Amino acid sequence: MRASTAPVGAASAMLLVGTSTAVSATIADYPVFAGQALRYALAAAILLAVVGHRRPPRAHLTARDVLLLIALAATGLAGFNVFLVEATRHAGPAMIASVVGAVPLVLALLGPLTERRRPAPRTVGAALVVAIGTAVAAGLGSGSTKGLLLSLGALAGEVAFSLLAVPLLPRLGPLRVAAYPAALSVPMLLAAGLALDGTASLRLPTPGQAAAFGYLGAVVTAAAFFLWYDALRRLGADRAGLFAGLVPVGALLTTVALGLGRAGPADVTGALLVTVGVAVGLRRPSPGLSDERPCLTVGGAGES
């Protein structure tokens, strides 16, 4: 992916992730953690097969790489799902979506700091608009204090999904960074399922559920994760993070397209705010008037 097409890749990735909301409704009766393990196992198999086919330059994993990959799998994938599932038991979907919708703002602040540079005011302001748009679309629902804390845990997992990948991408490339944590998260999710749901969580899905898991694994995970990580290494966490606000937009479009619901005024207003925020954040200011850096074009040992 060229640097000029990185925004398209980031937008596509987050819109695809948004489609998972409607698809997940078809597997609501299947044990959550076992289902996520199936999803990530399929995604890992696809991504590792692509890595084997493309034969990118060898990249020796250091101890630091291994620790980062394990941390990414534990927080950004398995941990995110655990917090999200537990949050739904103590808070409404609107509240959870509003909290997790702050991802662009958090990445705009923390992304530059991890690279020892100042957050760009334009990107931070744009991220705030995106977060507000997400909250408006979600409806700022209600929930308990425990639900809020669990939602913040899900937010932390979503942020870790990007920030922990940043130092890995130059050497390993987006395919490996997408594949390895997906594979590592499978035993973690299975363990969580056994601990919380018992052996009843281990059962075969119905044909319809299998089709849903196939879509989630192949499209929402394998394809979207690769597109996201490829865009992340070129745009940086702060600017790429703006596109996280498109997740509810993708969910809205899918829900309307499948006839599962209608778009209300709050949905449309939130989507418009997200669009404005992303556009403002990516717009190039006049030279010398911004501390924002150009797009990353890191190559390294990873595949392009």
Quick check: pTM over 0.85? no
Question: For position 296, what pLDDT does the model report?
Answer: 39
pLDDT tens digits along 204-241: 999 999 999 999 999 999 999 999 999 999 998 888 88
For position 82, what pLDDT does the model report? 84
Task: Please count the other Cβ atoms lying within 10 Å of the Cβ belonging to residue 110.
Answer: 17
Q: Show the low-confidence residues of the chain (pLDDT under 50).
A: 289-304
Q: What confidence score (pLDDT) does residue 72 get?
A: 97
Contact between 260 and 200 (Cβ < 8 Å) = no
Interval 58-108: pLDDT, tens = 888 999 999 999 999 999 999 988 888 788 777 766 667 777 777 888 888
Q: What is the pLDDT of residue 285?
A: 57
What is the model's pLDDT at position 112?
86
- 8 A C-beta contact, residue 35 and residue 27: yes
